[in-house]
Structure 1
Amino acid sequence: MVGLARLREALSVAEGDPELVRSQVQAFSRQIPLLYFILLVNTMAVAVTHLRSAPAWLSIYVPATLCALCIVRCVRWWRIRHRVLTHDKAVPELRKVIWLAGILGVAFSAWSLLLFPYGTDFEQAQVAFYMATTLAGCVFCLMHLRAAALLLLSIVILSFSIFLVFTGYPVFIAMAVDMTLVGIALAVIIQLYCRTFADVVHAQRELQASQQNTQRLSDENFRLASIDSLTDLPNRRSFFASLRAMSEQALAAGTGFNVGLIDLDGFKQVNDLYGHASGDLVLQEVGLRLLALADPGLFFARLGGDEFGVLVQHKRSNEMLVEVGQRICETLSQPYRVGGNIARLSGTIGWAAFPEAGTTVAQVFEHADAALYFGKESRRGSPVIFSTEHETRIRRSSLLTQELRDADLEAELFLELQPIYDLLTHRTIGLEALGRWHNARLGTVKPEEFIRIAERTELILRVTEVLLRKALDEAARWPCDLFLSFNLSAIDISTSARARRLIDIVSASGVPPHRVAFEITETAVTRDFEQARSSLTMIKQAGCRVSLDDFGTGYSSLSYVHRLPFDTIKIDRSFVTDVDSNSASKKIVKSVLDLCGNLGLECVVEGLETALQAETVKRLGARAVQGYLFSPPMRAGAVAAYLQAASEQALAMAAQG
């Protein structure tokens, strides 16, 4: 049973191995011309030598028919030699070859045996030689098809050996034995070769599979290295690779393209209010919205945090660029569902054109960033295109940065102080220190200019230290009932070590900590809320006071009031400008005053410029105020005279009262 199973396997097609079947067909197809060449040449040679000794039907018609069949098969092969067979078609084709090998084996063997008795001993020997050489040649041509080769070998060897044995001649019997032994050897060779061939095919298949797996792994690694895992957008690396490629193509072709930088407005508040997991959900939604906007000419990427990039492949007019930018901004401004809450954000985008705004990747990116920065300052939620105005600002910023780095801050920084006034007692209760910078080359630089640059370069740490020491030196000369209010940057409270530095400066000054109030804006708090809370708590525990400046100008002021250790809230001047005539402004100021009263916090109203404004906020419940109505910021040397005059005025008003 085992032997029959092996024999059946040896004489069948390996249907379950598509790779092997395909390889067998390909290998055999290359041998077909040689196979039929051997049959044609050998058959015609034998037929010609037997023309005189054998009947015409044996020497002409039968071999001619067999040769014609071979030629027909060759012509068919030539026509279909380039076709690629599927597995379903290759298996029947192999079965057809096996049957054809058997039929041709029987046909040529029968013809040879019928021809053998005719002619001389030499002609008989030629027939035997013909069978041996033709068999060997055909078997080797069929070597890749084990079933066909073994079938042909069996038919020829068995038929010819039996015929030779029955002749009774010792020489022919010896030839039969020899052919049988050679046939067995050939069968073994065929078996070994086919096994080796199959092993090679399997090894190639495994190698290809391994290479495919390696390629897939390489492709996946490349994808992971180029795609942001959170948003599925291309990442910063992919963005800059595309940017470099586009710049090279544009320079070579003399064309251009546009670069955009997008920043989410209000994203930090989402993280602080709802947690970083909710922030990630928002970023994922942003990624989906940007992918929905993408087209073959519009490439989006996440550059990091809440910053995204966009490349417009073909340069567009400013009008079209604004239109694209507005579409992006409108898409990003749609509400975001975060758990059971609704978050509202906006996106600001800065555009720069290549090569007009810059002929290098660094330049065009920097100019897009400059346009974005301008938009964040004055046109949030809108597209901004880089212009000469931004170019001027960049140059001015570079000049200021260099001068600030090289400045003698001790000599060039100075203070102006603005009083904080009590409406009930008509007395000055404190002064806010305002930093100023006068440079020999630039003259007096606006505070908003140099403070912004100092924060960007972290020179603010040195600026704060110099100004705080100067302010404390001045406060030490004031009456003990006056406090000093001093503004801090987000950088100043960005680490516990930096907060500790502020406390050490106060301690070394000799001014009691309770006379020092540090002001911090909501924007500064929201950069890193947890660290801000830790730093401000440390400052409060050291005995200093903490004030929230510019209240109402941020995104979610009320959400921070009860979570941070504030002593005072300062109402921004924007609510005071029309407080005497605008009922909405009155309600807002009244609400904040009531909030402070309920929370046990002090409140300072900033920006008072008229007596009517002062009278209005006083009726609303305000007490501590600040503004040009009482005094503009003054140089430190003028404070003593101001305090003397203010004290005399307060006494006079008290006497009148």
Structure 2
Amino acid sequence: MGRLARLREGLLVAEGDPELVRSKLQAFSRQIPLLYFMLLVNTTAVAITHRHSAPAWLALYVPAALCALCIVRCVRWWRVRQRVLTDDDAVSELRKLLWLVGVLGTAFSLWSRLLFPYGTVFEQAQVAFYMATTLVGCMFCLMHIRVAALLLLSIVILSFSTVLVFTRCPVFIAMAIDMTLVGVALAVIIQLYCQTFTGAVGAQRELQASQQNTQRLSDDNFRLANIDSLTDLPNRRSFFASLRAMSEQTFASSGGFNVGLIDLDGFKQVNDIYGHASGDLVLQEVGARLLALAEPGLFFARLGGDEFGVLAQHKFSNETLVELGERICNALSQPYLVAGNVAELSGTIGWAAFPDAGTTVTQLFERADAALYFGKESRRGTPVIFSTEHETRIRRSSLVTQELRHADLEAELFLEFQPIYDLLTHRPMGLEALGRWHNPRLGMVRPEEFIRIAERTELILRITDVLLRKALDEVARWPSELFLSFNLPAIDISTSARARRLIDIVSASGVPPHRVSFEITETAVTRDFEQAHSALTMIKQAGCRVSLDDFGTGYSSLSYVHRLPFDSIKIDRSFVTDVDSNSASKKIVKSVLDLCRNLGLECVVEGLETAQQAEVVKALGARAVQGYLFSPPLRANAVDTYLRPAPDRGLTVAEAQAQS
């Protein structure tokens, strides 16, 4: 019962750990040829020596059948030796093995027992020797399968040792005792070996688990390092790594490829109106749409914010590149469902080709960025391919940047002032300061050119300081009823410290703060609304005025009018160009004027160039106007002449027309 219990326990353990069973069977399978080789050789030898002393069926036919069975098993092993066992197969094979060991062990023991009485004492001794050596060899071959080895040991010891004991021959009895003791020793050895083998399998399993965990952590780290968690697209690091690898491979093979940069148009307004959570949903949808367009040789990535990158592994013709870009732009321009509302966005893409646009990663990225910037300025929602025109712009931009960095801003910067005219009093009510730059090498540089570059490099902070001080010096010489209108870039309200710097400059000038009006565009406000609100409130509390410039050109100007501390609004010139001939423009200007009147805000209509335009906006209720009709921008030394009383200098054309 004890052996049966242990056998049952072994079987239960085997079923509970099929992976261990599989390892044992794999180790045992390597011993199968040796096992059957010993059985065949030993059985054949015994059969040959007993061919004359034992009946033919016992000396020839039975051993032949047993040897044939061994050969069949060897052939089967050879055919399935490469098979990979599953967990269920392993347990099933173990059960089959136990039955086979039991059957073969019983068959060979029974044959030996029947053969033992025949022949001389030497032949009987050979049978006993055969059983002992074969038992030892088979147990060593079965040592990985403890249950099978113990089963074989039990069958042989119980059957053949009994035969030897009942011979009453002292030698055979001694052999029976020797076989039993050696069998017990073998059982102990096999037990210890199985424990060691099981421990080794467990250790290897732990090592594999550790390696899998390490690999999993490595994969997770790789994913975190190379995949954008929000969109599941490759991130900036992965994009540049692929770009470098592609550049090196293509350079070696003299081939080509294309780099694209994508920027979403209108995304900032989604964040401002619906919140950053909705903005994240839009970015996720953009990532899904780009992944849907991905194909072999086309690689998309998120570079940060609302900027994405694309690598086209093969060099396409301009026509194919435009077609691909249009497919991308069309996919991104489809409506987005945001917070129960539909948001309309578009995507602009700039392309650069290797090696035409550049042969280094930096050059390619800069060229694609230049094409993207050009598209954002003039062709939003479309693909733009880098060209010689963009190359000229890059070189010009680089030259302007270098000159601006090393410029003597105090000497090279100067101001022009354009009056803001009062249609009721026919007198100027203030002047807008306009920054100008004359460089010894470049000559006059257009404001939109150097201001844009200065904003990119943060040189705009120095420029603002210099121009504001120069403007305040001029204001001190003006009549006290005139105010200064001064344009602020976005960076000047990006922190409270920078807003405080502006207030300190005004305070140091001695000019009353109420005579200073800072103009800010909607674009500057949308970068960080909360910070803009804080900075503008600080400026307003210091006594300065705040004005919203270019009203109507943004996506959500109305939302800023009541949320920010504005004193006045400037209607963009695009609504005034045809105000005397376009009823829609006239209605828009009328609506804004009424809005300002209802909110207690002043309103300045800019861009007036004809007397007819002036008459129309005056009839609509406008009072403060600005434009070339009244005066072009004036140098500082010409402002005094312009401000002289009318009897001293005569009426301007605009004043004469207005009075008539």
TM-based fold match above 0.5: yes
**For residues 600 and 128 of structure 1, do their structure 2 counterparts lie closer, same or farther at Cα, with a shift above 3 Å needed?**
same
Q: Identify the residue that residue 76 of structure 1 maps to in structure 2.
A: 76
Instruction: Give the stretch that moved more between structures: 217-226 or 495-504.
Output: 217-226
Task: State the shift of 1:446 in Å.
Answer: 0.4
Q: Identify the residue that residue 482 of structure 2 maps to in structure 1.
A: 482
Contact 1:12 1:147 in 2 (8 A): no
Map 1:351-430 to 2 at 5 A: 351-430=351-430
Q: Give CA deviations for 1:347-382 in whole Å, capped at 9, x if unaligned.
A: 211111122211111111111111111111111122
Task: State the shift of 1:183 in Å.
Answer: 1.6
Instruction: Give the stretch that moved more between structures: 61-70 or 463-472.
Output: 61-70
Structure 2 residue ranges without an equivalent (≥5): none
Q: Secondary structure at the match of 2:608?
A: coil
Question: Aligned AA for 1:215?
Answer: Q
Cα distance between partner residues in 2 of 1:115 and 1:180: 21
Question: Aligned AA for 1:250?
Answer: T
Contact 1:35 1:141 in 2 (8 A): yes
Cα distance between partner residues in 1 of 2:62 and 2:289: 80
Map 1:284-323 to 2 at 5 A: 284-323=284-323
Cα distance between partner residues in 2 of 1:112 and 1:549: 112
Contact 1:428 1:646 in 2 (8 A): no
Question: Aligned AA for 1:277?
Answer: A
Q: Secondary structure at the match of 2:337?
A: strand
Map 1:104-115 to 2 at 5 A: 104-115=104-115
Q: Identify the residue that residue 245 of structure 2 maps to in structure 1.
A: 245
Instruction: Give the stretch that moved more between structures: 130-139 or 169-178.
Output: 169-178
Question: Aligned AA for 1:515?
Answer: R
Q: Secondary structure at the match of 2:311?
A: strand
Q: Identify the residue that residue 603 of structure 2 maps to in structure 1.
A: 603
Cα distance between partner residues in 1 of 2:592 and 2:513: 27
**For residues 147 and 653 of structure 1, do their structure 2 counterparts lie closer, same or farther at Cα, with a shift above 3 Å needed?**
closer
Cα distance between partner residues in 2 of 1:340 and 1:436: 47
**For residues 515 and 210 of structure 1, do their structure 2 counterparts lie closer, same or farther at Cα, with a shift above 3 Å needed?**
same
**For residues 107 and 653 of structure 1, do their structure 2 counterparts lie closer, same or farther at Cα, with a shift above 3 Å needed?**
closer
Q: What TM-score do you get using the length of structure 1 for normalisation?
A: 0.95
**For residues 633 and 257 of structure 1, do their structure 2 counterparts lie closer, same or farther at Cα, with a shift above 3 Å needed?**
same
Map 1:211-250 to 2 at 5 A: 211-250=211-250
Cα distance between partner residues in 2 of 1:482 and 1:208: 82
Map 1:261-340 to 2 at 5 A: 261-340=261-340
**For residues 194 and 443 of structure 1, do their structure 2 counterparts lie closer, same or farther at Cα, with a shift above 3 Å needed?**
same
Map 1:56-67 to 2 at 5 A: 56-67=56-67
RMSD: 2.3
Q: Identify the residue that residue 191 of structure 1 maps to in structure 2.
A: 191
**For residues 12 and 475 of structure 1, do their structure 2 counterparts lie closer, same or farther at Cα, with a shift above 3 Å needed?**
closer
Q: Identify the residue that residue 48 of structure 2 maps to in structure 1.
A: 48
Q: Secondary structure at the match of 1:15?
A: helix
Question: Aligned AA for 1:322?
Answer: V
Contact 1:425 1:650 in 2 (8 A): no
Q: Secondary structure at the match of 1:167?
A: coil
Cα distance between partner residues in 2 of 1:397 and 1:655: 44
Q: Secondary structure at the match of 1:82?
A: coil
Q: Secondary structure at the match of 2:296?
A: coil
Task: State the shift of 1:459 in Å.
Answer: 0.4
Q: Secondary structure at the match of 1:131?
A: helix
Q: Secondary structure at the match of 2:327?
A: helix
Q: Identify the residue that residue 446 of structure 2 maps to in structure 1.
A: 446
Q: Identify the residue that residue 165 of structure 2 maps to in structure 1.
A: 165
Task: State the shift of 1:316 in Å.
Answer: 1.9
Cα distance between partner residues in 1 of 2:503 and 2:438: 27
User: In percent, how many aligned pairs have the same letter?
Assistant: 84
Task: State the shift of 1:560 in Å.
Answer: 0.6
Q: Give CA deviations for 1:85-131 in whole Å, capped at 9, x if unaligned.
A: 33333434333332222232233223333333344443333322222
Task: State the shift of 1:415 in Å.
Answer: 0.9
Q: Give CA deviations for 1:367-399 in whole Å, capped at 9, x if unaligned.
A: 111111111111112211111111111110010
Task: State the shift of 1:51 in Å.
Answer: 4.2
Map 1:637-652 to 2 at 5 A: 637-644=637-644, 646=646, 648=648, 649=650
Contact 1:423 1:625 in 2 (8 A): yes
Map 1:3-18 to 2 at 5 A: 4-10=4-10, 14-18=14-18
Contact 1:516 1:544 in 2 (8 A): yes
Cα distance between partner residues in 1 of 2:595 and 2:659: 34
**For residues 551 and 623 of structure 1, do their structure 2 counterparts lie closer, same or farther at Cα, with a shift above 3 Å needed?**
same
Cα distance between partner residues in 2 of 1:440 and 1:654: 41
Q: Identify the residue that residue 549 of structure 1 maps to in structure 2.
A: 549
Cα distance between partner residues in 1 of 2:230 and 2:659: 70
Contact 1:436 1:446 in 2 (8 A): yes
Contact 1:11 1:150 in 2 (8 A): no
Task: State the shift of 1:75 in Å.
Answer: 2.4
Question: Aligned AA for 2:77?
Answer: W
Cα distance between partner residues in 2 of 1:515 and 1:474: 12
Matched, 1:33 2:33: yes
Cα distance between partner residues in 1 of 2:391 and 2:355: 14
Instruction: Give the stretch that moved more between structures: 323-332 or 630-639.
Output: 323-332
Cα distance between partner residues in 1 of 2:606 and 2:646: 19
Instruction: Give the stretch that moved more between structures: 330-339 or 608-617.
Output: 330-339
Matched, 1:592 2:577: no
Q: Give CA deviations for 1:515-562 in whole Å, capped at 9, x if unaligned.
A: 111111111111111111111111111111111111111111111111
Contact 1:19 1:205 in 2 (8 A): no
Task: State the shift of 1:13 in Å.
Answer: 8.3
**For residues 116 and 605 of structure 1, do their structure 2 counterparts lie closer, same or farther at Cα, with a shift above 3 Å needed?**
same
Q: Give CA deviations for 1:200-225 in whole Å, capped at 9, x if unaligned.
A: 33333333233323322322232232
Contact 2:258 2:353 in 1 (8 A): yes
Q: Give CA deviations for 1:37-77 in whole Å, capped at 9, x if unaligned.
A: 11122223333334454444444443333333322322232
Contact 2:519 2:549 in 1 (8 A): yes
Cα distance between partner residues in 1 of 2:579 and 2:518: 27
Cα distance between partner residues in 2 of 1:655 and 1:490: 37
Matched, 1:520 2:520: yes
Contact 1:11 1:151 in 2 (8 A): no
Task: State the shift of 1:655 in Å.
Answer: 14
Cα distance between partner residues in 1 of 2:451 and 2:214: 54
Cα distance between partner residues in 2 of 1:541 and 1:12: 84
Q: Identify the residue that residue 24 of structure 2 maps to in structure 1.
A: 24
Cα distance between partner residues in 2 of 1:63 and 1:338: 85
Cα distance between partner residues in 1 of 2:94 and 2:530: 76
Task: State the shift of 1:478 in Å.
Answer: 1.2
Instruction: Give the stretch that moved more between structures: 338-347 or 349-358.
Output: 338-347
Task: State the shift of 1:255 in Å.
Answer: 2.1
Contact 2:611 2:657 in 1 (8 A): no
Structure 1 residue ranges without an equivalent (≥5): none
Q: Identify the residue that residue 558 of structure 1 maps to in structure 2.
A: 558
Question: Aligned AA for 1:189?
Answer: I
Question: Aligned AA for 2:348?
Answer: T
Instruction: Give the stretch that moved more between structures: 617-626 or 12-21.
Output: 12-21
Q: Give CA deviations for 1:402-426 in whole Å, capped at 9, x if unaligned.
A: 0000000011011111111111111
Instruction: Give the stretch that moved more between structures: 555-564 or 179-188.
Output: 179-188
Cα distance between partner residues in 2 of 1:4 and 1:28: 23
Contact 2:423 2:658 in 1 (8 A): no
Cα distance between partner residues in 2 of 1:272 and 1:61: 96
Task: State the shift of 1:10 in Å.
Answer: 4.1
Cα distance between partner residues in 2 of 1:653 and 1:356: 60
Question: Aligned AA for 1:356?
Answer: D
Cα distance between partner residues in 2 of 1:656 and 1:67: 131
Q: What TM-score do you get using the length of structure 2 for normalisation?
A: 0.95
